[in-house]
Structure 1
Amino acid sequence: MADQAKPISPLKNLLAGGFGGMCLVFVGHPLDTVKVRLQTQPPSLPGQPPMYSGTFDCFRKTLMREIQASSGETKYNGALDCAKKLYRESGIRGIYKGTVLTLMRDVPASGMYFMTYEWLKNTLTPEGKSVSELSVPRILLAGGIAGIFNWAVAIPPDVLKSRFQTAPPGKYPNGFRDVLKELIRNEGITSLYKGFNAVMIRAFPANAACFLGFEVAMKFLNWITPNL
């Protein structure tokens, strides 16, 4: 009787997943910044051009603004300072502002993400081969497409989250419902897809890098610690 495949340890999944997340951030973070800037830009006044005319204009202006502001005074001196000031201003609610919207985004989007990735891995695996033998280009393809499906589900609640989290305290007393009403009333239903181009440009390479990083790290861990 053939030996059953040994299950992968949680520690290996943790380490490989962490490395995959690092790869995702490294590849995708610049366009994530652009996405948030596009999502939170105020509506333009009548007769006035918008703050950003598109993804690449936002990227250019963001880069120039950061260069110009690098020698000026900043509101937050890092993540810890930001957390302290948020807590001082709004208490624990300030730190967790937007949690419901984050869950509304991440629960369905993550489900779509991993379902699509696993389905594509199985679909792309040649007959008679193991999923673990999948080639790098096919891993990149599966991861990239999974990222696109993830963000196709995630972007409307992500827009609401960005608006809600960056709003002044008290602007939206009823939470995301007020954000949704204001957006649709002032900017139309398409405003829920602000930053779509930036998201989709980012989605494929960032998530392809994430899953490739995970698979490479897992193979490396299996090589150096086969009995873990």
Structure 2
Amino acid sequence: MSSQDAAPGDGTPNAQPSSSTASSIKSFISGGFGGVSAVLVGHPFDLTKTRLQTAGPGVYTGAVDVVKKTLARDGVSGMYRGIVPPLLGVTPIFAVSFWGYDLGQKLIFRFTPTRESKKLSTSEYAVAGFISAVPQTLVAAPVERAKVLLQVQGQGGNEQKYKGVIDVVRVLYKEGGIRSIYRGSFATLARDGPGSAAYFAAYEVTKKALTPAGSSPSDLNLGAVIFAGGMAGVAMWSIAIPPDVLKSRLQSAPNGTYSGFLDCARKTIAADGVTALWKGFGPAMARAFPANAATFLGVEASRKLLDKYI
């Protein structure tokens, strides 16, 4: 977000900036650029993570083996398989996420009218972050479902069932309607709720730590904001992997494999042990900093251009 927007940033409600139509449009567009930047940088890591999480025993020996086999079979373009769904979904996902974060902050202020401080505490930032994940899930869950199915097809010699993202949606709807498209929604919220809480809290804490005495976080240079964004990504993925593993398995498994989130957790642990819940941790953490640094770089750079010309 731009330093001209209060969320995330200075701990005060984003009342006037968010009420401006022009500012809302700029935030939406710059958030989309940030999301596109994150996908372009982070997708190969994400594909590696997802394939590790969903492959059967013995298919891969580790993250490097996933990359080697993918490149050997499909070339460099294979590392970007399944990229269309997140590219199509990043604009609304990021827009809704940051809108939800702003809403969460406003709700906290509304329900604490007698508070003495006009700034939120770290725990309150975390609560606002968790709130942001609720509306975000409505957009993110079907995008994640399509992305996962495209990422995992072809591994282990499986058939190429889907021709592209539109074909995924068409087949899923034919097989089970809207419910099939939204499979894994609870798992998505279980990942993004705590993850977003850690993400936004870490972002605010890092910005505060980098702010010189007597200055405001809104005065930080671009490098500091990028670093804060990268650290926010690391904080999120340090706790989000277990529900992400279950989400990937739920969304990629044939119909009837799991009855729900808890059943997936039980069967995963029974079959592969507790350590299975941490599959893909390496690629996720390798992706976390550069992808989220790219996010904030895209947001800030595009917002400055928009402010200059619009």
What's the TM-score once normalised by structure 2's chain length? 0.64
Once the 2 structures are TM-superposed, how far is the Cα of residue 155 of structure 1 from its aligned partner? Answer: 0.9
Aligned match for 1:65, one of 70, 73, 85: 73
RMSD between aligned residues: 2.2
Higher mean displacement: 130-139 or 25-34: 130-139
Once the 2 structures are TM-superposed, how far is the Cα of residue 204 of structure 1 from its aligned partner? Answer: 0.6
SS in 2 for 1:7: helix
Aligned match for 1:42, one of 46, 56, 79: 56
**What is the CA–CA distance in structure 2 between the aligned matches of 1:129 and 1:68, rounded to whole Å?**
45
Counterpart of 1:212? 297
**What is the CA–CA distance in structure 1 between the aligned matches of 2:305 and 2:206, rounded to whole Å?**
23
**What is the CA–CA distance in structure 1 between the aligned matches of 2:51 and 2:309, rounded to whole Å?**
43
Matched, 1:86 2:86: no
Once the 2 structures are TM-superposed, how far is the Cα of residue 33 of structure 1 from its aligned partner? Answer: 0.5
Matched, 1:127 2:213: yes
Higher mean displacement: 145-154 or 57-66: 57-66
Once the 2 structures are TM-superposed, how far is the Cα of residue 104 of structure 1 from its aligned partner? Answer: 0.9
Give the greater-gyration-radius structure (CA): 1
Residue by residue over 1:94-135, the C-alpha shift from the partner in whole angstroms, topping out at 9 and shown as x without a partner, is 111111111111122112112211221122122333433322
Matched, 1:95 2:181: yes
**What is the CA–CA distance in structure 2 between the aligned matches of 1:68 and 1:168, rounded to whole Å?**
28
Counterpart of 2:17? 7
Using CA pairs below 8 Å that are at least 6 residues apart, which structure has the higher relative contact order? 1
In structure 1, the gaps of 5 or more residues are 44-49
Once the 2 structures are TM-superposed, how far is the Cα of residue 76 of structure 1 from its aligned partner? Answer: 1.4
**What is the CA–CA distance in structure 2 between the aligned matches of 1:89 and 1:64, rounded to whole Å?**
33
**What is the CA–CA distance in structure 2 between the aligned matches of 1:14 and 1:62, rounded to whole Å?**
35
**What is the CA–CA distance in structure 2 between the aligned matches of 1:109 and 1:135, rounded to whole Å?**
26
Aligned length: 213
Is contact 2:222-2:300 (8 Å) kept?
Answer: no
What's the TM-score once normalised by structure 1's chain length? 0.86
Higher mean displacement: 182-191 or 93-102: 182-191
**What is the CA–CA distance in structure 2 between the aligned matches of 1:127 and 1:56, rounded to whole Å?**
44
CA gap of 1:79–1:124, structure 2 versus 1, over 3 A, is same
CA gap of 1:69–1:205, structure 2 versus 1, over 3 A, is closer
**What is the CA–CA distance in structure 2 between the aligned matches of 1:191 and 1:154, rounded to whole Å?**
14
Once the 2 structures are TM-superposed, how far is the Cα of residue 69 of structure 1 from its aligned partner? Answer: 11
Counterpart of 1:157? 243
CA gap of 1:84–1:144, structure 2 versus 1, over 3 A, is same
Once the 2 structures are TM-superposed, how far is the Cα of residue 68 of structure 1 from its aligned partner? Answer: 11
